[in-house]
Amino acid sequence: MVDPRSPSTPSDPDLASVRAAARTHLLHEGTVDRYRQVLAEGIDRVARVVADADRPCTGISPGELNSLVSAVDLDRPLGDTTAALDELADVYLRDAVYFHHPRYLAHLNCPVAIPALLGEAVLSALNSSLDTWDQSAGATLIERRLVDWTARRIGFGDAADGVFTSGGTQSNLQALLLAREELLDRLGSPRHDALPRMRILMSEAGHFSVHKAARLLGLRRDAVLPVPVDQSWRMMPAALARELVRCRERGEHVVAVVATAGTTDFGSIDPLPEIADLCAEAGVWLHVDAAYGGGLLVSRTRSHLLAGIDRADSVTVDFHKTFFQPVSSSALVVGDGAVLRHATDRADYLNPRWMAEREVPNQVDKSLQTTRRFDALKLWLTLRVTGPEQLGVLFDEVVERAGEAWRLLGADPRFEVVTPSPLSTVVFRYVEDGADQEALDGAILHAREALAASGSGVVASTRVHGRHHLKLTLLNPRTTVEDIAHLVELIAEHAGGYLFAPDTAKWRAECPSTTSSPSAWVRTT
């Protein structure tokens, strides 16, 4: 048997030099010059890529890029930062999707605040972990201050608490876990009896992460009951009231009502005060998913749109959407911090009970994660350098721009626009007299893919009442109305070209996502 204390290969003459070389890649007091030089070189590369990007993406196909990535031999290091960055340019940097570019208008990705990038560099260099005080010290206190700051903005009282998470999906999952445990405590019935009867009520326009959370929490696949929305894609309180009654009559237990403050497609904000009234009356947990609309907490002119959010039991806020933070940065905030006990488990090596009794501030007691990034530092430095007001001004600007885009598209007979958004999305459909709806669906999907393949712009698509639509999500204040008008022209050209293609005998209803050779896999510049 090998003695684990003995050196593995004591006679290997190379070992000492390999070890010495390996150590030069670790950050310590002897390598700070290398650290400075390597980071500076990396930052310089990124700065050049950002400065030179003349389009939001190159439209490269997964197949083309995959051949470059696959060709890299991970067992043969380049041993040199410049060479590694050259290679990275080929496999990633050159063909990345640039969210800072004004013609990236697809998903909820934002250009990032420079102080947050500084935070990113600091937090990864020191590598603090937010699970326990003995791995984080000031980092824990900074996160706690930011949770308190967010809770105050929400309007919660002194009992509020929360924790940073990896994103809205995790924040929603944790909120529903807490709600489920609170309900189980109240019901007092065995878990296996109660779980199949548990339901979550959310509008039809709510986020799919809630469905995933329900499954992870052991609820039935159909446990999330969709509450109908009005023409503005807001949950209808009367419909919610009916659903709550139906649940009671059927003997179902409502874990939570999930109200959305900023639906992903329409930016619609559910009527929070009315929903809060109904939840209070029924004694049901109210979770507000403000992953997108959370940015209104710092808006100068629109924070009133979140009226009623202070009556929630829990709130999701994604700083990596509307606070211009790099991924990941999100928080779950609860009105009564005591409920976070449902996320607590104890390990002798990490957070034993005696630590809790001595009030050692261990964030792991509140989190689903153990080792956890100090993402809060990015928001901290952003607030300390930039301040909340400037963040709010940036968000307000994109909301205004979305209004302009909505008017532009509404005045264009080639398009139909769906309801105006109180936030920053615009959902629209290309239309053409005489074309059947399937053909238009095909044209719309083709236009989106052709646009991205050309690299001229990136927009999203979604379905509204079963029909394909295009979606602009504005989060870049540098996007102008001219940028949007330019993309709209390109979209009309691609859609029209698809419908009237000479090789098309009649209107084509081909759906790229269901054909065997989707056009996205082919560069069509």
Ligand X SMILES: Cc1ncc(COP(=O)(O)O)c(C=O)c1O
| Rounded Cα gap, residues 353 and 360, in angstroms | 10
Whether a cis peptide bond, with omega within 30° of 0, leads into 328 is yes
Judged by CB under 6 A, the chain residues 410 through 469 that form the site for ligand X are none
Output 260 or 367, the one with its CB closest to ligand X: 260
Judged by CB under 6 A, the chain residues 10 through 69 that form the site for ligand X are none
Range in contact with ligand X (rule: CB under 6 A) among 113-121, 139-147, 258-266, 341-349: 258-266
Output 81 or 166, the one with its CB closest to ligand X: 166
Output 135 or 172, the one with its CB closest to ligand X: 172
Size of the site for ligand X (CB under 6 A): 15
The CB-of-258 to ligand X minimum distance in angstroms stands at 9
| Rounded Cα gap, residues 259 and 275, in angstroms | 8
Secondary-structure breakdown of the chain: helix, strand, coil percentages, each rounded to the nearest 5: 50, 15, 40
Q: Determine, following the binding rule CB under 6 A, whether residue 233 of this chain makes contact with ligand X.
A: no
Neighbouring CB atoms inside 10 A of 212's CB total 14
HSE on the CB side for 247, CA within 13 Å?
A: 25
Q: Determine, following the binding rule CB under 6 A, whether residue 292 of this chain makes contact with ligand X.
A: yes
Question: Cβ-count burial of 336 within 10 angstroms (0-12 exposed, 13-18 middle, 19+ buried)?
Answer: middle
Judged by CB under 6 A, the chain residues 97 through 136 that form the site for ligand X are 108
The CB-of-169 to ligand X minimum distance in angstroms stands at 3
The CB-of-99 to ligand X minimum distance in angstroms stands at 14
Q: What is the number of residues in the chain?
A: 525
The CB-of-517 to ligand X minimum distance in angstroms stands at 30
Q: Among 205, 291, 343, 405, which residue interacts with ligand X (rule: CB under 6 A)?
A: 291
Q: Determine, following the binding rule CB under 6 A, whether residue 265 of this chain makes contact with ligand X.
A: no
| Rounded Cα gap, residues 524 and 449, in angstroms | 10
Range in contact with ligand X (rule: CB under 6 A) among 57-65, 68-76, 143-151, 168-176: 168-176
Q: Among 168, 267, 337, 457, which residue interacts with ligand X (rule: CB under 6 A)?
A: 168
Output 163 or 488, the one with its CB closest to ligand X: 163
Output 135 or 424, the one with its CB closest to ligand X: 424
Output the six-digit token pair for 456: 């001229």
Whether the CB-CB separation of 473 and 425 falls below 8 Å is answered with yes
Residue with tokens 């700083």: 319
Residues 195-214 vs ligand X: string with x where CB under 6 A?
Answer: ------------x-x-----
Q: Among 136, 203, 260, 425, which residue interacts with ligand X (rule: CB under 6 A)?
A: 260
Q: Among 135, 330, 473, 476, which residue interacts with ligand X (rule: CB under 6 A)?
A: 330
Per-residue DSSP letter, 261: B
What contacts 192, CB < 8 A, 6 or more positions away?
none
First to last CA, the chain: 63
Per-residue DSSP letter, 235: B
Beta-sheet strands, E only, within 108-214:
161-165, 198-203
Output 128 or 263, the one with its CB closest to ligand X: 263
Quick check: helix, strand or coil at residue 298?
Answer: helix
Neighbouring CB atoms inside 10 A of 364's CB total 24
Output 102 or 267, the one with its CB closest to ligand X: 267
Give the angle subtended at the CA of 134 by the CAs of 130 and 137, to the nearest 5°.
Answer: 65
| Rounded Cα gap, residues 130 and 140, in angstroms | 6
Q: What is the phi/psi pair of residue 7, to 5°?
A: -60, 145
Range in contact with ligand X (rule: CB under 6 A) among 162-170, 195-203, 384-392, 500-508: 162-170
Query: What residues are paired with 417 via a beta bridge?
Result: 428
Residue 346 CA, chain-centre distance (Å), reads: 30
Judged by CB under 6 A, the chain residues 296 through 325 that form the site for ligand X are 318
The CB-of-262 to ligand X minimum distance in angstroms stands at 6
The CB-of-40 to ligand X minimum distance in angstroms stands at 31
Between the CA of residue 494 and those of 6, 454, 461, 498, 508, what are the distances in Å? Answer: 68, 11, 15, 6, 14
Q: Among 135, 169, 268, 479, which residue interacts with ligand X (rule: CB under 6 A)?
A: 169
- Tell me which residue of 393, 334, 321, 69 sits closest to 178, measured CA to CA: 334
The CB-of-467 to ligand X minimum distance in angstroms stands at 21
Output 289 or 449, the one with its CB closest to ligand X: 289
Range in contact with ligand X (rule: CB under 6 A) among 29-37, 118-126, 165-173, 376-384: 165-173
Q: Among 115, 119, 162, 167, which residue interacts with ligand X (rule: CB under 6 A)?
A: 167
Output the six-digit token pair for 434: 């005489």
The CB-of-233 to ligand X minimum distance in angstroms stands at 12
Query: What residues are paired with 260 via a beta bridge?
Result: 289
**What does the binding site for ligand X look like in residue numbers (CB under 6 A)?**
108, 167-169, 172, 207, 209, 260, 262, 264, 289, 291-292, 318, 330
